[in-house]
Amino acid sequence: MSREFKIAPSILSANFAKLGEEVSNVIASGADWIHFDVMDNHYVPNLTIGPLVCEAIRPVTDAVIDVHLMVKPVDRLIPDFAKAGANVITFHPEASDHIDRTLALIRDCGCRAGLVFNPGTPLQYMDYVMDKLDIVLLMSVNPGFGGQVFLPITLDKLRGVRCRLDMYKKKTGRDILLEVDGGVKIDNIADIARAGADTFVAGSAVFGAGKDTDPHRYDSVISALRAQLATV
C-alpha cells in the first residue's frame, strides 16, 4: 500500500538562539512538519516550551506545527496552543480525565487531534474514539529526554496500530496518520515505515546533522532520510 511519508523534525534539538532560522532552514531542506514537544515537569521529568514559543515560530513557516502535549492536566493548554498556531495537537490518554472530551476540545479549537502511546501504554485506549482521531503517535522511547535509542518492540506495536487503522479505513474511507517519535534516524527509518508508520519525528538525527556546506543546512540529512523511505 502506497503511503505519503512525512518528516517532522523536533525543535527541542534545534539551536534556540536562532530558532526561527532553524525552522526556516529545516523546512526549506525538505522537512514537512515541525514537531513541538511540551513537557511540564509533572507528567514527564523535564520542562520545555509553551504557547509563546509556538506563537513566535508561527509567522516563520506555513508548515504544520505538530504539538505533542506531555502535560497533566491537559485540557487547560489546548486552546492556548490552538490560538498560538498549532495545527495538530496530541496528548497522552493517562493525562486526560475524559479522553473523548479532550479529543473533541482539540477539534473544536480547529486542530487535528491525536492520542500518544508510551511504550507501556495499551492500545485499547484508541478503540472507542477512532471517529475523533486524526493521528496516532507511538513513542519509541520513554518520553522526557532527547537522544534516546529506538526501542525495537515498537515495531510490533506499530504493526498492531497499522492493522487497526487499515481496518478502520476499510469501513469508513477515512485515513488516520501513524506517527513515531524517539530514536528515528537514517539507518532505521525504512524499517519503521515498513512496520506501518507514515510520519516520523526526528530530533537530534536531523538538527545534530546540519552542514554549513548545505544550502539550507539540513538538505543532506533530509535527503538521506527520504532516500531510505524510497526503498519501502
Domains of the chain: 6-229 (3.20.20.70)
Per-residue pLDDT tens for 45-92? 999 999 999 999 999 999 999 999 999 999 999 999 999 999 999 999
- Residues marked as catalytic: 37, 181
b/e map 182-219, b = 16+ CB within 10 Å: bbbbeebbbebbebbbbbbbbbbbbbebbeeebebbbb
Question: So what's the pLDDT on residue 146?
Answer: 62
Where does the pLDDT of residue 142 fall: very low under 50, low under 70, confident under 90, or very high at 90 and above? Answer: confident
Mean pLDDT in residue range 96-106: 97
pLDDT of residue 1: 46
**CA–CA gap between residue 209 and residue 191 (Å, rounded):** 21
Question: Judging by DSSP bridges, how do beta strands 177-181 and 88-91 pair with one another?
Answer: unpaired
Kindly report the average pLDDT of the chain as a whole number. 95
Which helix (H) or strand (E) element contains residue 17? none
SS3 7: strand
What percentage of the chain has pLDDT greater than the value 90?
Answer: 94
Percent with pLDDT over 70 in the chain: 98
More confident residue, 184 or 3: 184
Q: What is the pLDDT of residues 216-227, one digit of tens each?
A: 999 999 999 999
Query: Which pLDDT tens digit goes with each residue over 114-137?
Result: 999 999 999 999 999 999 999 999
